[in-house]
Every structure is written in C-alpha cells, then in structure tokens.
C-alpha cells in the first residue's frame, strides 16, 4: 500500500489529536490569588517527579497520582507549610524518587561530588603528564651529546648572524 499525501495528513492529524488528549489531563492545576504562592506552587510541581510516570514532573503528568499530589501541594501551601515541609511529606510517602534534585546526604555524596572529583583527577593526570615530559626534557646529556649540541648551536648562531648582516 502506497502512502498518499492524504493518508499522511490524516496520520498527522491523528497524532496531534492524541497529543492534545494526553495533555488534557494536566488541566486541573490549582490557582492562587497570591502571586507568591502561585510561584511557589509552579516551582514545586515542576520539581516534584511523578512516581507513576518514568520521567514527568507532577505538573506535566495526567496520571491520577500526579493530580492527587498537586492537590496535596496546593492544600499544604494554603495551610502555610514551607517548601521543605512539602517536599519532605512527599519523600516520606513516595521516596527520594520524587525529588528531581537529590538532597545532599551520605548516600548521594558520590552523585554530587563525583563530577568535581572527576575534573580534579583529570587535572591531576594532565599535570602529571606535563611534569613527566618536562623531566624527560631536562635529562642530562652525556659528553658526546653535549658536544653535538654545542656544534649545532654554534652553527645555527653563525647562520643567524649572517641573516642579520644581509639587512
């Protein structure tokens, strides 16, 4: 069966419709009169991860649990809980998985310090290589080599003087 432009168009329209349907679930977002609360709400639902979905923030997800979590966040904000309290309440129920930005703890030290340690190790390796090459160059010459070097240098210097005399 050949793909006609008409069929392609139809497939495209279907794809767009499916996408629209998939995002429609996320429209039950809560509204606040206070812009400061609204901003905290937006920040929280963008940084808490939906436990059901593999990789969506609760503000992006149409799954029922994401809706429950948004409601919980909104209720806690109205009650006056701090952002940390709200995150902690979510972690107590759903685990560290819900935090997009892992907290600094003993078991997350490698995660946070790893890149820095990697860069330091890389710099140390580069420094070690440079130093070893410098040491190689500074190795003392034996008498024969020194003599050859001296002749080469003096010959070169002679050329230099000649060049200058042409000017």
Partner 1 sequence: MKKRYWLFVPLLIFVVLAFLLWQGLGRDPSHRDSALLEKPFPAFSLTTLENDERTVDASLLEGQVTLVNVWGEWCPTCKREMPQLLTLAERGVHLVGVDYKDTRDKGQGFLEEFGNPFALNIFDPEGSLGFDLGVYGAPESFIVDARGNIRYHHTGYITPEDVEDVILPEIRRWQ
Tell me which of 37, 51, 56, 60 binds partner 1, using CB under 8 A: 51
What are the DSSP calls for 42-81, one per residue? HHHHHHBBPSSSSS-BTTT--SHHHHHHHHHHHHHHHHT-
Taking CB under 8 A as the criterion, the residue among 52, 56, 81, 99 binding partner 1 is 52
CA 145, 147, 150, 151 torsion-angle sign: negative
Contact string 8-37 vs partner 1 (x = CB under 8 A): ------------------------------
- Nearest distance from residue 122's CB to partner 1, in Å? 11
68 binds partner 1 (CB under 8 A): yes
Element (H, E) at 7: helix 5-24
Strands (E), the chain: none
Among 47, 91, 99, 108, contact with partner 1 (rule: CB under 8 A)? 91
Spatial CA neighbour of 46 closest among 98, 103, 111, 105: 98
Stretch that binds partner 1, among 17-25, 36-44, 125-133, 153-161 (CB under 8 A): 125-133
Residue 49, number of CB atoms within 10 A of its CB: 23
Which of 30, 37, 65, 81 forms a contact with partner 1 (CB under 8 A)? 65
Please select the residue that binds partner 1; options are 92, 139, 143, 161, rule is CB under 8 A.
92
Q: List Cα–Cα distances, 41 to 3, 113, 166, in angstroms.
A: 47, 30, 80
# residues contacting partner 1 (CB under 8 A): 19
Decide if residue 122 touches partner 1 (CB under 8 A): no
99 binds partner 1 (CB under 8 A): no
The answer to whether the beta carbons of residues 86 and 76 sit under 8 Å apart is yes
Q: Which residues bind partner 1 (CB under 8 A)?
A: 50-52, 54, 63-65, 68, 72, 91-97, 125, 128, 132
């Amino acid at each position: 069966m050949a793909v006609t432009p008409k069929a392609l168009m139809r497939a495209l329209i279907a794809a767009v419709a499916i996408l629209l349907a998939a995002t429609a679930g996320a429209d039950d977002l809560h509204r606040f009169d206070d812009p400061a609360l609204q901003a905290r709400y937006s920040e929280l639902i963008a940084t808490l991860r939906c436990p059901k979905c593999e990789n969506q923030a609760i503000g992006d997800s149409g799954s029922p649990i994401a809706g429950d979590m948004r409601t919980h966040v909104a209720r806690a904000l109205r009650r006056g809980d701090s952002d940390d309290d709200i995150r902690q309440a979510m972690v107590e129920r759903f685990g560290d998985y819900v935090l997009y930005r892992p907290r600094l703890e003993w078991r997350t030290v490698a995660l946070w310090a790893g890149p820095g340690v990697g860069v330091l190790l890389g710099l140390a390796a580069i420094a070690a290589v440079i130093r070893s090459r410098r040491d190689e160059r500074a190795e003392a010459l034996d008498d024969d080599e020194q003599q050859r070097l001296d002749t080469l240098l003096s010959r070169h210097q002679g050329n230099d003087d000649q060049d200058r005399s042409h000017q």
